[in-house]
Amino acid sequence: MAIDTMTMTPAIYKSLPYDPINDLAPISRLAVATYVMAINNDVPAKDLNSLFAYI
C-alpha cells in the first residue's frame, strides 16, 4: 500500500525476486488525497504562480 516501497526498493537492492514494474499491476484505487499549501500572511504571494515567482 505504500508507494515509496515500489519506487525505492529497486534503487536500494541490486537483486529482487520480482520485477516491480512488470510483475505487479494495480487492481483498485484505495484512496484519493487532497493537498493544501498554507503560507504566512506576510508573504506577498496570493496564488501558487506568484508564490513560485516570490521563491
Q: Supply the DSSP symbol for 52.
A: H
pLDDT digits (tens, 9 = 90+) for 1-55: 556 677 788 888 888 888 877 888 888 888 888 888 899 999 999 899 999 999 9
The predicted pLDDT at position 40 comes to 94
Contacts 24+ apart (CB under 8 A), 19-26: none
User: Cα separation of 26 and 16, whole Å?
Assistant: 19
Which residue range is the domain that position 22 belongs to?
1-55
Number of domains in the chain: 1
The predicted pLDDT at position 54 comes to 95
| pTM exceeds cut of 0.85 | no
CB-based contacts of 47, cutoff 8 Å, min separation 6: none
Q: Which three cell numbers stand for residue 19?
A: 520485477
The predicted pLDDT at position 42 comes to 95
The predicted pLDDT at position 51 comes to 94
